Amino acid sequence: MADADNRLAVSRIVLLGPPGAGKGTQAAFLAEAMGVPAISTGDMLRQAVERGSALGQRVQKIMNSGALVDDGTMADVVTDRLQQGDAQDGFLLDGYPRTLDQAHTLSGILEALQESLDAVVLITVDEDELVKRALARGRQDDKEEIIRERLRVYREKTEPLVGHYEAAGLLRRVDGDQSIEAVTAELRSVLS
């Protein structure tokens, strides 16, 4: 149940789902409803690339190929971000974790902060629809062959997280093949 403040009961959430499922869009709405920051590792890396920082220079090629940045680099990025003040009362992670190693790193980070995840929401969308959406979005890493590669990497590296979080009793599923408003409503309902 949402309280009078219109905030959701849970506060440490991971959004899981293939590229193009609408995680970023939904993260923005949800973060507002929850009063916690939406943390997108993809956005953080893109900003590093734009700034031309050492991190940005190191990850640019990898990102443009549709591959994943290595787990060690991502552990540094996320550890640093979750220690910042605005994430102490909760956060919405969009695009992290993406491998089992990252899921273990995340629980380690949270354990050290004496916290734990409240929920992992899987947003599912049909693959052809994902390709159509990604092409319409037109980002630099959104050429069809790169999109297919990102989906292949998702299935190989990230999909095992579904079973991992299901076994932990944290997984909730939302049908992402609906209007943005309908997905938001379903998300709010599975998190209430």
Tell me which residues touch ligand AMP (CB under 6 A): 19, 41-42, 45, 62-63, 66-69, 74, 95-96, 98, 102, 150
Q: Which residue has the tokens 């193009």?
A: 20
Nearer to ligand AMP, 7 or 62 (CB): 62
| Shortest spacing between CB 45 and ligand AMP, in angstroms | 5
Nearer Cβ to ligand AMP, position 154 or 184?
154
Q: Which residue, 43 or 166, is less far from ligand AMP as judged by CB?
A: 43
CA proximity to 105, closest of 73, 69, 75, 84: 75
Residue nearest to ligand AMP (CB): 42
- Shortest distance (Å) from residue 56 CB to ligand AMP: 11
Amino acid letter, 185: A
- Most distant CA pair in the chain: distance in Å? 47
Q: Are 130 and 123 in contact (CB under 8 A)?
A: no
Enter the DSSP assignment of 187: H
Structure tokens at 178: 């609906």
Minimal distance, residue 82 CB to ligand AMP, in Å: 13
C-alpha torsion 15→57→105→108, nearest 10: -100
Enumerate the active-site residues. Answer: 23, 98, 137, 139, 150
- For residues 51, 55, 61 and 67, what is the CA-based torsion angle, rounded to 10 degrees? -120
> Least CB distance from residue 9 to ligand AMP, whole Å?
26
Report the residue number, 101 or 177, with the smaller CB distance to ligand AMP: 101
Q: What is the DSSP string of 147-173?
A: HHHHHHHIIIIITHHHHHHHHTT-EEE
Tokens 């932990």 label which residue? 168
